[in-house]
Amino acid sequence: MSTAVSAPETRPSRGPLTDLLTGGGPVRRALWLALAGLALFSIVRAVSGEEALTSSSTMSAALLLAVPIGLAGLGGLFSERAGVVNIGLEGMMILGTWGAGFAGYQWGWGAALVGGVLFGALGGLLHALATVTFGVDHVVSGVAINILAAGLARFLSELFYTDNPAGGGVTQSPPVSSKPPSFSLPVLSSGPDLLGDLEQKHWFLLSDLAGIARGVTSGVAIVTVLAVLLVPATYLLLWRTAFGLRLRSCGENPAAADSLGVPVYRFKYIAVIISGGLAGLGGVFLVFIAGIYRENQTNGRGFIGLASLIFGNWRPGGLAAGAGLFGFSDALQLRSRSAVVALLLLVAVLLAVLAVRQFLRHQLLVGGIAAVVAVAAFVGFLTIDELPPGIVSFTPHLTTLLVLSLASQRLRMPAADGLVYRRGEN
């Protein structure tokens, strides 16, 4: 019989500096990482002269673009934590954009909010029906919903918006009739705009910090606020309440949950419907930015949201970081194609560090590949002025792919994620 497991051992001290840098738990490590990242960006900005890298306009665009990704990711979180893989987030987001446009042009931004979430949730309901009640494979159902949602959006647009006196057409809705509110920090980001002044001085590190701070605090839309609040709210709901424990148990061991009286099917339904609603909210946000519904507004953001979920190791905090990362790369390529070239320098430095680490661990193949790509990136930085639009357009997707390739080994998804659960059979 095994004895009770001993308390987690305290690691022996490895010197004060190492302890300072690597000890203290995950929060402190994250802070150090953030600081190091900031310093790196400042250096690259100074070297390349690309102001766009840390300017407040880029940062606010980054936040802007991170929101739909993050919302989709949160949607994926709810669904996958309950054990249902949701590839259909893109389709639910599409439904959300259409619903927001449809309700928005008639009744204003409040209705758009409700309409978008509702339409997204309906998509979630469909996915839940297929996967939970009928036991269809989750990925297949998700792909089917994506196809159906795109077709439905087109069909409904054709039906309602052709020959509509308010405007619009087959691929877009009439404009949303009222603008949603947005907020700014009173003294720092608007009016006297102290942060803006600091940013203009282009001082190393301080100006970058100012740029970032101003970017995320001026002209912040209401959905952004909502989205940012949803991250800790999701954590509290899923990790600190009984509801959350039961929901997560459906994704870890549904048979165990069932045997303890947890209504597994019901929780899966709830989770997937919430998932659709959140994706729909992401769609609402896209409509608010553009002012109308436009076909293909989502442009794969649902999928990137899923990627940020995986990147964040199925936790809200990591997910938000991932969404921020992908939003940033998306913003950069929209802002300034030459700034993307500066990213190459960043990539070169990071990969060089990675290569050194892998060589130290005798992982020659991975280290070698990292080194080669690092050199190529550096050469690219030196020689290329501006990347053509076609190439730049897939920066976020390439980033996603690189991150997933490098990080996939450490991830731990819910144990029963993707499992088609049938009561009594598992």
Query: To 10 degrees, what angle do helices 264-290 and 242-252 make?
Result: 100
Which residues from 323-382 bind other proteins, rule CB under 8 A?
A: none
**Residue from 260, 360, 362, 385 in contact with other proteins (CB under 8 A):** 260
Query: Could you tell me the smallest distance in angstroms from the CB atom of residue 47 to other proteins?
Result: 27
Stretch of residues binding other proteins (CB under 8 A), selected from 34-42, 53-61, 217-225, 400-408: 400-408
State the Cα–Cα distance between residues 315 and 35, nearest whole angstrom: 22
Residue 389 contacts other proteins per CB under 8 A: yes
Smallest distance, Å, CB 119 to other proteins?
15
β-strands 220-221, 182-183 pairing:
antiparallel
- As given in the structure block, the two tokens for residue 97 are 């954009």
The correct pick among 51, 80, 258, 330 for binding other proteins (CB under 8 A) is 258
Choose the stretch contacting other proteins; rule: CB under 8 A; options: 108-116, 227-235, 247-255, 334-342: 247-255
Judged by CB under 8 A, the chain residues 98 through 157 that form the site for other proteins are: 126, 130, 134-137, 139-141, 143-152, 154-155, 157
- Stretches 13-21, 102-110, 195-203, 255-263: which one binds other proteins (CB under 8 A)? 255-263
H or E element in which residue 221 lies = strand 220-221
Cβ 147 vs Cβ 93: under 8 Å: no
Out of 105, 119, 293, 303, the only residue in the binding site for other proteins (CB under 8 A) is: 303
Assess 256 for contact with other proteins (CB under 8 A): yes
Indicate the residue among 118 and 402 with the shorter CB distance to other proteins: 402
Angle between helices 395-407 and 316-335 (to 10 degrees): 150
By CB under 8 A, residue 414 contacts other proteins: yes
When asked if residue 5 is in the footprint of other proteins (CB under 8 A), the reply is: yes
Question: Which residues in 263-302 contact other proteins (CB under 8 A)?
Answer: 300
Report the nearest approach of other proteins to the CB of residue 247 (Å). Answer: 11
Considering the complex, state which of residue 64 and residue 145 has its C-beta at the smaller distance from other proteins.
145
Nearer to other proteins, 44 or 250 (CB): 250
- Closest separation between CB of residue 261 and other proteins, Å? 3
Q: What is the DSSP string of 284-301?
A: HHHHHHHSS-BTT-STTH
If one counts every other C-beta atom within 10 angstroms of the C-beta of residue 286, the result is 27
**What is d(CA 365, CA 370) in angstroms, rounded to the nearest whole number?**
9
Chain residues 227-246 in contact with other proteins, contact rule CB under 8 A: 240-242, 244-246
Per the document, the length of the chain is: 426
163-222 binders of other proteins (CB under 8 A): 170
CB of 149 to other proteins, least distance (A): 8
Q: Return the number of the residue (264 or 346) whose C-beta is nearest other proteins.
A: 264
Contact 59, 73 (CB under 8 A): no
Report the amino acid identity of residue 1.
M
Residue 408 touching other proteins (CB under 8 A):
yes
> In DSSP terms, which residues pair with 221 in a beta bridge?
182
One-letter amino acid identity for 74? L
Contact 107, 177 (CB under 8 A): yes
Q: Which of residues 43-82 bind other proteins (CB under 8 A)?
A: none
CB 273 to other proteins: min, Å = 17
The C-alpha atoms of residue 71 and residue 253 are separated, in whole angstroms, by 26
CA-CA-CA-CA torsion for 29, 33, 36, 37, nearest 10 degrees?
-170
Choices 24-32, 42-50, 259-267, 349-357 (CB under 8 A): range interacting with other proteins:
259-267
C-alpha pair distances (Å), 344 with each of 41, 101, 191, 384: 12, 38, 36, 10
Count of residues that interact with other proteins, criterion CB under 8 A: 76
Phi and psi at 18, nearest 5°, equal -65, -40
Q: Which among 350, 331, 340 is positioned nearest to 380, based on CA atoms?
A: 340
Judged by beta carbon, residue 168 or residue 215, the one nearer other proteins is 168
